[in-house]
Structure 1
Amino acid sequence: MNFKSFVSIVALGVLANAAPHKRQSPAVITTCTTPNTVALTFDDGPYNFSAEIIQTLNAAGAKGTFFYNGNNYGCIYDEANVERIQNAFASGHQVASHTWSHPHLPQLSLDQVQFEMTSTHEALIKITGAAPAFMRPHLTPDRIAYGEYNDNVLSVAASLKETVVTWDFDSEDSLGAAPDVQESRYGQLIGQKPGTILSLEHEPLQTTAEQVLPFLISKLQAAGYQLVTVAECLGAQPYLSTGTPGVRDATWTCGA
């Protein structure tokens, strides 16, 4: 190997381990593409308010997308959580992956990213029979409003045939924004009449489920938007495949 070839290989290595991406990559979805649609998304479940969110969406003829963790607010395989996920799936809402334990993915090794993403992907197949076609990375530790990812995340997503999706509007519920503040932010957004909205909410927050969501659905529908899943707002399929849910066995566990 000559010196020039060696330098080229080193340069490629540096690029592969470069800082996490913050802007849109061709492999990452940040906005809807179907006109006049809004995709309401709920991160960090399954959790106690799942049934209430689903009931509110169903009553309004709206659809949502739930990005689930494997072991964050409880284990995904707990009977109550399995029931919550199956309820969302059976009601026609989209279920997708939000990794296993909600880590900051760019700080992990490739093997660790593989575990985080594959474990939840496989759990959702066992629970619903459907292989999720989408995953979402997390807010950054400094709470900047985008999902942060790097080449390892994109590589694992490609191996699972998952599309990485973030958002273009953050309700700021996870930042502790009061319901009236969230409602004001949404009101300002709707007043701007964007062609589409891909918004971020969080399932484990009671105020999101009980106060903000009913207000939000009412305002968006009154403005003429269709409330659809992420897949629908992109004109894509929500799952790579669908089949029969698995039977609970010794693998349905989050460990000791």
Structure 2
Amino acid sequence: MRITFLGTGTSQGVPVIACDCEVCTSVDPQDKRLRTSILVEGGGKVIVIDSGPDFRYQMLRMGVKHLDAVVLTHEHKDHIAGLDDIRAFNYRQQQALDVYATERVQTGLKREFHYIFAEEKYPGIPRVNLHTIDKNTPFDIGGLHFVPIEVLHYRLPILGFRIGSFTYLTDVKTISDAEKEKIKGTQTLVVNALQREHHISHLTLDEAIAFAKEIGAEQTYFTHISHRLGRHAHVSRELPEGIHLAYDGLQLEIEGE
């Protein structure tokens, strides 16, 4: 299985509009972060987890020619706003695209993209097949087995996913012991590390490091990163062995269990 980080930035991306801090003005490509999303290739399928506002550019930048499914963690705009651009794959593949989400997230999609679900459909709108995720029930997409992991984004329950030896968590602030049990044995962990200062709905850098050490994966990568965290090169030098900052375009090859 191959994982590609399509975006590793927080809801505003990096650089932030009108900001002249040292991160936003950096010329280092690793300090340029689109909204958080990953591409999963394996089991004969190509899958995106979260289709944020940068989805169109992410597909173009990585040269994605085929997409089988979109899996959504939650309904915030920085994770769903680009869903309209699946139209290109509808046209190219001549079929509707599978979209996996909880019932609550589907309600959000029907509110934000009401025209997709209207009884009388305008020509050329996105075509989707909705699949309902039950937080307690694993599901398969092709040869890939997804185990939902519920975390709290402040008070909002959202989902991360374990796929074999790989676990992907974004927008985490807290997680129950029962859900942590699902992560045990993970070899590669991805989790959010927003900034150094306390935040109500995201792990800080120190909290993310502590969580990574608790889980004990062989390799951990931080994502959903704010410009407030600091320059990629500077922060990377501070991190313990086996813990890294992800960056846009980073690819990981994940071996089976």
- Bigger proportion of residues as helix: 1
Based on CA coordinates, which of the two structures has the bigger radius of gyration? 1
The TM-score range, normalised by the shorter chain, is 0.3 to 0.5
Report which of the two has the higher share of strand: 2
Answer 1 or 2: higher relative contact order, Cα 8 Å, separation at least 6: 1
